[in-house]
Amino acid sequence: MTEKSLDTFTPKIGKAEIAVLMPIHNEAETIEQCVTEFCDVVTPKMPLELVLSEDGSTDDTENVIERLSEKIPLKAVLSTSRKGYAGGIKDGLKLVTAEYVLITDSDGQHDPKDFWKIWRLRNKYDIVSGWRKKRADSLYRRIMSQVFQWRIKSAFNLPNFMDITAPFKLMNTEVAIKIAEKCKYMSESFWNEFSVRAYTSGFIIGEVPVSHRIRADKSATRVYKPWKIPKIALTQLMALSKLKSELNM
Ligand SMILES: Nc1nc2c(ncn2[C@@H]2O[C@H](COP(=O)(O)OP(=O)(O)OP(=O)(O)O)[C@@H](O)[C@H]2O)c(=O)[nH]1
Ligand SMILES: [Mg+2]
């Protein structure tokens, strides 16, 4: 495995109150648009520590990020071997120096304009989480997600959250690190495990309706292909029971 870091943020900007962290895998077609959109929304009002955590891409993503870092101040970690979504987030968090971090996907499904809605609530909740009221995913993808979220809520006695897996979450960076470093079971559903651990540790989660779009490259789901569902469902249920026994629930 080779790993490389880039940092054009520290010499040019130095410090920011907010970081946006994006896990990235094979997003050559989307990443530039996604990053630029975020900068256009945030940087006119305050400095932004942009942290890109890429691994295992087999397309041109790495070159796109390197070129982008010359135009836009950012930090990035680039790795030749795949770490998975959770691994990408954990390693990206190591680069964050801002007090707050918004963690979001790099596939363009979330609209950066919703950032301000979430930001305004940073002192009200420990974790401000997007709620995809009109989720732009296929029907079976939405059903799978709802069924599993329902199963998680009942297994861990969570309140009736609307959308705990939305990948658009703002929190204090120390809170993010503290919870993320414990997550180890739900590889296909990092945000389910993250939300369970956050809630059972006493953190207050507030949800805010946000818009949701199809992937910027217009492709359908990459993870939840119909033929992968039985394996994913089984893995998720096994992960759920491991988490239950670790938390004594
Ligand atoms: N660093 C890192 N990022 C990943 C990895 N797998 C996926 N990602 C990123 O995580 C985000 C979510 O991945 P997606 O493939 O869109 O998965 P999803 O949003 O859960 O599901 P679909 O949109 O339905 O495919 C995207 O921005 C990906 O680039 C990984 O192994 N490492
Ligand atoms: Mg997606």
Ligand 1 centroid to residue 97 C-alpha, Å: 24
Q: Could you say which ligand is closest to the alpha carbon of residue 24?
A: 1
Count other C-beta atoms under 10 Å from residue 32's C-beta.
Answer: 17
How far from the centroid of its chain's Cα atoms is residue 86's Cα?
A: 9
Mean pLDDT for the chain overall: 95
Which residue's CA is the nearest one to ligand 1's atom 6?
Answer: 85
Confidence grade of residue 36 (pLDDT, cut at 50, 70, 90): very high
What the block records as the tokens of 50 is 């942009």
CA distance 116 to 63: 31
Q: What is the pLDDT of residues 78-119, one digit of tens each?
A: 999 999 999 999 999 999 999 999 999 999 999 999 999 999
CA distance 239 to 102: 26
Using the 8-state DSSP alphabet, how is residue 249 labeled? -
pTM listed for this prediction: 0.96
Q: What is the pLDDT of residues 173-210, one digit of tens each?
A: 999 999 999 999 998 789 999 999 999 999 999 999 99
Q: What is the pLDDT of residues 131-151, one digit of tens each?
A: 999 999 888 888 888 999 999
CA distance 22 to 168: 10
Please count the CA atoms within 13 angstroms of the CA of 86 that sit on its side-chain side: 16
Q: Could you say which ligand is closest to the alpha carbon of residue 191?
A: 1
Ligand 1 neighbourhood includes 221 CB (under 6 angstroms) = yes
Range in 23-27, 56-60, 185-189 with the lowest mean pLDDT: 185-189
Ligand 1 neighbourhood includes 107 CB (under 6 angstroms) = yes
220 pLDDT above the threshold of 70: no
Do 172 and 96 meet the contact criterion of CB atoms below 8 Å apart?
no
Ligand 1 neighbourhood includes 27 CB (under 6 angstroms) = yes
Axis-axis angle for helices 190-200, 84-93 (nearest 10): 60
Q: Could you say which ligand is closest to the alpha carbon of residue 107?
A: 1
**Kind and range of the H or E run holding 130:** strand 127-132
- Pick from 70, 91, 20: which is nearest to 49 by CA? 20
Do 210 and 111 meet the contact criterion of CB atoms below 8 Å apart?
yes
